[in-house]
Structure 1
Amino acid sequence: MILGTTTAAVGAEGHVDNPYAGATQYVNDKWSAAVTAEAAAVAATNPTLAAQMLAIKDQPTAVWMDRIGAINGNVDGPGLKYHLDAALAQKGAAPIVLNVVIYNLPGRDCYALASNGELPATAAGLTRYKTEYIDPIAELLAKPEYAGIRISATIEPDSLPNLSTNMSEPACQTSAPYYKEGVTYALDKLHAITNVYTYVDAAHSGWLGWENNASHAVQTFVDVATSTKAGFASIDGFVTNTANSTPLTEPYLPDSTLSLSGTPIRSSSFYEWNFDFDEIDWTANLYTRLVAGGFPSTVGMLIDTSRNGWGGPNRPTATSTSSVLETYIAESKVDKRTHRGAWCNPAGAGIGERPQATPAGYTSSHLDAFVWIKPPGESDGSSSLIPNDEGKGFDRMCDPTFSSPKLSGKLTGALPGAPVSGKWFSTQFQQLVTNAYPAIPATGTQPPADTVAPSVPTNLVAGATTLSSIAVSWTASTDNVAVTGYDISSGGVVVGSSPTTSFTVAGLATDTAYTFTVRAKDAAGNVSAASAPLTARTATDVVIPGPDTVAPTAPTNLVAGTTTTSAVPLTWTASTDNVGVTGYDVYSGTTKVGSSTTTSHTVTGLTAGTSYTFTVRAKDAAGNVSVPSAAVTATTQTVPVTPAGSCQVTYSTNDWNSGFTATVKIKNTGTAAINGWSLGFAFPAGQTITNGWSAVYTAAGAAQTITNQSWNGTIAAGQTVEIGFNGSHTGTNTRPTAFTLNGAACS
């Protein structure tokens, strides 16, 4: 591809209803190159699969701006300007759409770890998001030379959906205000550019399809839209199934309202009473709710079909004839995940519908297009912990050996051997092509056989040694396609293999010299010549340290943070130790009230309006304990008093089987603001709260105490605050009748 730079606005146009209609979509040549390399790697052993890969190498995929460094380009690829210039070079007589993902909110992905980002959920993180991320992107997109490109921006995957369902998670509570302000800022900046189209992420049917989740999500979308300068007009549409594998349709379960032997099929363990079995169900449901909430009828939907095909030999061909509900569902559904919440590199998934504008046959969904937002072949997250400089953690949902409580104790069903999110995952891409539905015809031109051996590894050096091992490393080889690994030999015998440029040879004799060489290999079976030899010796002795009798130094700078009515947060400066500090014990007087492995701890369960004195002691693995730190005194806050008769509580529930969702509205009917509140009541029939949102929940038997979050503690006169929770019951869900607010009775 030859890239050109245009210096004037070419093909500038007004803002249209559906940017995909009558347009082509941008093909990322970097993704195409990765597909071509993968095809070359499998051509010798599976020429049909290679041809299928090449048949889709020119499909359009989105460009992800997943950190500040991606704007100008980084180790993962070129920057945004490169893709804008490439889109101009690809543009013909028809309009062209460039799909860009805006994905770098402070505290990103608060309910997961694999896709955490570089910016913390703090005021400073939000400032960097605005000034170092959104502003440079908006400035680049607004350049006159790019006015002829329709830029479709997917706005912050998973952000607003997390605020709709996961507010019981402390990280989401912390992130919430930064998500709302950050998304509002991004919409204001991007909507102001005529040729930019904003599509806000709306999760998928297996996340937001339930009645309560859907209503909360739409209210969140309405709140954010109405907080922007342009209101509802700032959002052109919504995109669902981003980087997920929920099917477009469940062809053999087309009606979720059906029953089997009198039992609703949606009550199965897989659908968990959710009416929306697939993305067509969810987009139709979402559209209706959005328009009812105030969005214009022109609001459009995108569905990411990059990984939701579920084809291959295990795809059902008819509705099950079983009369057993769980068997009926398992044999009928095309979605073969262990649970609808399993999102990470799911085994058995396949590429879905190819990108296309205004897909026919789905009138109620108001689809603008099928798109590939998540480029097939890019990992969702690593199968095990892999250190990286992108802020991406290890989420056990990506570990195939993990039975997750979030999945009702089922295994995650994730593929093994996955790299960190966004990196190329060969195993996954091969599976996606193999299981594509509709199937991919093998029409691509097969690459020639690879007969070129990799170059010889260089700079073979020895690192750390033990009594029985020697660590070696070397400089990477090059290859006409790609190096797949290295073999390490000693005395002509292969003693190990590595996919990276390092390896530790183990099982060696003590105080013995060994000579090593390394050879590179590629997927076609070509092997390089041997590297220059390296001679290294194992260690002769290991010094065994004596017993540790030295106590850590005392912690210093013990300070108390902002208190609540029942808790005092403490922080201190770390102690030092001759081996290493393993933790700290916190004391109130002579009583230990908590332990921490870090330099902070919050003491809870305290009495309101009471003064406490705390000290901290450090400890090490040998059991040595430091002397106490200097003491700090802190006083808990006094419980606010609400005058009797100045509050009103409205309590309503949505019940099912043994569960329910409760909505609680607290109204200040007095004449003065309530600053800080604590709602009390007792369940009359043994109900329990399983999780809640927008408040802090504490139970003591039947008695429930619900206190405000930092952001909703003030209720102005005449105003109402709404909270909610999920609960369980044993067949009877009698409504509580007596409520108190800060100790005073409410009507």
Structure 2
Amino acid sequence: MLSRTARLLLAAGLSASAIALGPVATAATATTAHAPSAGHTLPADTRFAVTPDNEAQRQALTDLQHHDLAGAAAMAKLASWPEATWFTSGTPAQVRDQVRATVRTAAAERAVPVLVAYDIPLRDCSQYSAGGAASDAAYQQWISAFAQGVGSSRAVVIVEPDALANLPSDCNATTDPTGTLTAGRIADIKYAVSALEAQPQTVVYLDAGNSQWHSVGDMAQRLIQAGVAQSQGFFLNVSNYQPTDQTDQYGTWISKCLWFATDGPAWAAGHTDYCASQYYSSAAPNDGAPGDAVSPTDASTWHWTDAWFDQNVGTPPPAQLTHFVVDTSRNGKGAWTPAPGKYTGDPQTWCNPPGRGIGATPTAATGVPLVDADLFIKTIGESDGSCTRSTAGPGDPEYGGTVDPAAGAWWPAQALGLVQDAVPTLTFNPRLLP
């Protein structure tokens, strides 16, 4: 039976199947030495699941009720693509039941859900997305229940966005002076990997931030400490806007750095700090001349980092390199840079930047050897928080001084803008069309 939204869209002259719930594109085979068994990979027949009754589908119905057929069509396109399902709170029993319901719904569609575990203590340094479990012990009970909910079902699990890129020791000088909280964070992530990888068909990825955050070596070291070798790999660009090609390049460097410091030459053992990065490469002249040093904001200089890896890492065995996935939910136009001098303080380029667009649609056929999938991990249309860009606020000057919705709140205008500015142009999921 057609849903009410589908019937209304059909009445509006749109294809009801445009918002039908179902799987998407066939995935490419992905293997890695870090996968404990064949069940912990994304095989060639993987299809990602569309979340039932998602925000975009509900917005399409609202737009139709207000006779906004163009808005309804845009939201119907968005609703036809798979996005990750986030689990951010609740008791262990509640999250177990919620996860179980999600994976069972996906299984009925013969599809694989992408699940986000987001309940780590001191989440987001108690800022816009503050929250999380009350203690390490509480978190470990919660993530154990999460894993029980997955059970023997197929699932991709994104473990705690920002948890490694934003450790308690990164929050401020007084948050974790003894390092106890950071040690607990690492232990929590390792526990999560162990609990989730114990399930026979989970594919687990750990946080590696984005290409404009930590250096390659720093991020590789954090991943090693958190047990990335026992997982499928890591994820990049969640809730961020960095271009896919630069993200792929950064991720490939991290993967090679992991190999270099663990399975590479004897002189490199344990030394992720030797790895070149988006900030510095000893292979560059570094003589002050334009283009003769690596700049994180000028990807045309990144060939110097490639050169370092060519000289020092060479070509590792492909099966020994760690794989990763990329969030392409909002990076169609790349990162935002305000006009020079517009803001005297932090412009919060990561926070609801204007004029962005959706990027490449979810697929595991990425064409990049180490990239298992491009995914919509951040829920498209949910706010990053109430941004003030170092002004007196409370409004956001990039949106005419209106106050942005709280972090995680649905923002219809932003959702519409991201669809309209998508690169490439967003279409209906072809697998759902007649």
> Smaller-chain TM-score range?
0.5 to 0.7
CA distance in 2, matches of 1:181, 1:274: 38
Distance 2:389 2:203 in 1: 38
**1:214 match:** 216
Name the structure 2 match of 1:424.
410
Paired residues of 1:164 and 1:216 also in contact (CA < 8 A): no
Aligned to 1:358: 365
2:36 is aligned with 1:37: no
CA deviation vs aligned residue, 1:466-485 (integer Å, no higher than 9, x gap): xxxxxxxxxxxxxxxxxxxx
In the alignment, what sits opposite 2:198? 192
Counterpart Cα distance in 2 of 1:114 and 1:376: 17
- Residue 297 of structure 2 aligns with an amino acid whose one-letter code is Y
Among 157, 160, 172, which residue is 1:156 paired with?
Answer: 160
**Are the equivalent residues in 2 in contact too, given 1:379–1:425 (CA < 8 A)?**
yes
Task: Say which of 293, 297, 300 aligns to 1:271.
Answer: 297
Cα-to-partner distance string for 1:627-674 (whole Å, 9 max, x where unaligned): xxxxxxxxxxxxxxxxxxxxxxxxxxxxxxxxxxxxxxxxxxxxxxxx
Deviations 1:259-280 (A, max 9, x none): 9x94228777x82899669xxx
| Distance change >3 Å, CA 86–CA 223, structure 1 → 2 | same
- Aligned partner of 1:713 in structure 2 is none
Q: Kindly provide the CA deviation profile for residues 506-537 of structure 1, in whole angstroms up to 9, marking residues without a partner as x.
A: xxxxxxxxxxxxxxxxxxxxxxxxxxxxxxxx
Matches within 5 A, 1:60-75: 60-69=82-91, 72=94
Equivalent position SS for 1:432: helix
Alignment of 1:48 onto 2:70: yes
Matched residue type, 2:291: P
How far apart, in 2, do the equivalents of 1:267 and 1:413 lie? 31
Q: Please give the alpha-carbon distance, in whole angstroms, between the structure 1 residues aligned to 2:216 and 2:429.
A: 42
Post-superposition shift, 1:136? 1.3
- Larger strand proportion of the pair: 1
2:330 corresponds in structure 1 to 307
Shift in alpha-carbon separation, 1:88–1:379, aligned structure 2, 3 A: same
Match of 2:143 in 1: 134
Contact 2:328 2:359 in 1 (8 A): yes
1:437 has 2:423 as partner = yes
The 1-side partners of 2:50 and 2:92 are apart by 18
Select which of 377, 380, 386 maps to 2:384.
380
2:232 aligns with 236
CA contact (8 A) 2:121 2:139 kept: yes
C-alpha offsets along residues 668-690 of structure 1, whole Å, 9 cap, x if unaligned?
A: xxxxxxxxxxxxxxxxxxxxxxx
Q: Secondary structure, in 3 states, of the residue corresponding to 1:368?
A: strand
**Paired letter, 1:21:** A
Which amino acid in 2 is paired with 1:57? A
2:193 aligned with 1:170, yes or no?
Answer: no
- Conservation of the 8 A alpha-carbon contact between 1:303 and 1:371: yes
State the TM-score, normalized to the length of structure 2. 0.67
CA-based RMSD: 4.2
Counterpart AA for 2:106: A
CA-to-aligned-CA distance 1:543-572 (integer Å, 9 cap, x gap): xxxxxxxxxxxxxxxxxxxxxxxxxxxxxx
Superposed displacement of residue 195, structure 1: 0.7
Change (3 A) 1:154 1:71: farther
Contact preservation (8 Å) 1:271, 1:340: no
Aligned-partner SS, 2:205: strand
Determine the structure 1 residue equivalent to 2:123.
108
Q: Structure 1 residues 167, 442: closer, same or farther in 2, change over 3 A?
A: closer
2:83–2:376: 8 Å Cα contact kept in structure 1? Answer: yes
- C-alpha separation between the residues in 2 aligned to 1:436 and 1:48? 15
CA offsets per residue over residues 65-100 of structure 1, 9 Å max, x none? 1112496279xxx82222122112211xxxx32111
SS of the aligned residue for 2:335 comes to coil
Q: Do the aligned partners of residues 69 and 140 (structure 1) sit closer, same or farther apart at CA in structure 2, a change above 3 Å counting? A: same
CA 276–418 in structure 1, closer or farther in 2 if over 3 Å, else same? farther
Q: Could you tell me whether the CA contact under 8 Å between 1:59 and 1:354 is conserved in 2?
A: yes
- Name the CA distance, whole Å, in 1 between partners of 2:83 and 2:43: 14
Quick one: structure 1 residues 220 and 250, their matched pair in 2 at CA, closer, same or farther if it must change by over 3 Å?
A: closer
**d(CA) in 2 for partners of 1:66, 1:25:** 21
Deviations 1:20-63 (A, max 9, x none): 532111110131xx213323444567533432321231211111
Cα distance in 2 for residues equivalent to 1:368 and 1:443: 20
Give the equivalent residue in structure 1 for 2:342: none
Identity of aligned residues (%): 24
- Any gaps of 5 or more consecutive residues in structure 1? 3-13, 226-230, 311-333, 384-397, 405-410, 445-747
How many angstroms does 1:215 deviate by? Answer: 1.1
User: After the TM superposition, which residues 348-747 of structure 1 pair with which residues of structure 2 at under 5 Å, given as runs?
Assistant: 348-360=355-367, 362-363=368-369, 366-381=370-385, 383=386, 398-400=387-389, 402=391, 416-441=402-427
Structure 1 residue 181: Cα displacement: 1.0
State how far apart, in whole Å, the 2-side matches of 1:62 and 1:443 are. Answer: 16
Q: After the TM superposition, list the runs of 4 or more consecutive aligned residues in structure 1 that deviate by more than 6 angstroms.
A: 256-259, 265-268
Inter-CA distance 403–154: structure 2 relative to 1 (3 Å threshold)? farther
Specify whether residues 352 and 20 from structure 1 end up closer, same or farther in structure 2 by C-alpha distance, changes over 3 A only: farther
1:403-449 CA-to-partner distances (Å, cap 9, x unmatched) read 89xxxxxx9958943322222111211111111110124799xxxxx
Q: TM-score when scaled to structure 1?
A: 0.41
Give SS of 1:24's match. Answer: coil
Q: 1:263 to 1:377 in 2, by over 3 A?
A: same
Report the Cα distance in structure 1 between the residues aligned to 2:293 and 2:347, rounded to whole angstroms: 13
In structure 2, the CA distance between the partners of 1:374 and 1:258, relative to structure 1 (3 Å rule), is: farther
Secondary structure of the 1:162 match is coil
Instruction: Return the alpha-carbon distance in structure 2 between the equivalents of residues 239 and 48 of structure 1.
Output: 34
Runs of at least 5 residues in structure 2 that lack an aligned partner in the other structure:
3-36, 248-277, 279-283, 339-345
Cα deviations by residue, 1:276-335 (Å, 9 ceiling, x for unpaired): 69xxx99x98xx98x98x99625211000011112xxxxxxxxxxxxxxxxxxxxxxx53
Task: Tell me: CA distance 1:166–1:65, structure 2 relative to 1, closer, same or farther (3 Å).
Answer: same
Q: Partner of 1:407 in structure 2?
A: none
The one-letter code of the counterpart of 1:137 is: F
Structure 1 370/344 Cα, relative in aligned 2: closer, same or farther at 3 Å?
same
d(CA) in 1 for partners of 2:302, 2:412: 32
Deviation at 1:358, TM superposition (A): 2.8
Please say which structure displays the higher CA radius of gyration: 1
Seen in structure 2, the aligned counterparts of structure 1 residues 223 and 36 have a Cα distance that, compared at 3 Å, is closer
- Which secondary structure state, in structure 2, belongs to the residue aligned with residue 221 of structure 1? helix
Q: Which amino acid aligns with 1:66?
A: T
Q: Mark the CA change 1:267 to 1:402 in structure 2 (over 3 Å): closer, same or farther.
A: farther
Shift of 1:243: 1.2
Task: Give the corresponding residue for 1:179.
Answer: 185
Name the CA distance, whole Å, in 2 between partners of 1:265 and 1:341: 29
Contact 2:49/2:112 (<8 A) preserved: yes
Counterpart Cα distance in 1 of 2:185 and 2:119: 10
The residue number in structure 2 matching 1:26 is 49
The corresponding residue for 2:336 is 336
Pair 1:258–1:355, CA change in 2 (3 A)? farther
Distance 2:384 2:112 in 1: 25
Partner Cα separation in structure 2 for residue 70 and residue 60 of structure 1: 26
User: Which one has the bigger helix percentage?
Assistant: 2
Q: 1:69, 1:431 → 2: CA distance? A: 36
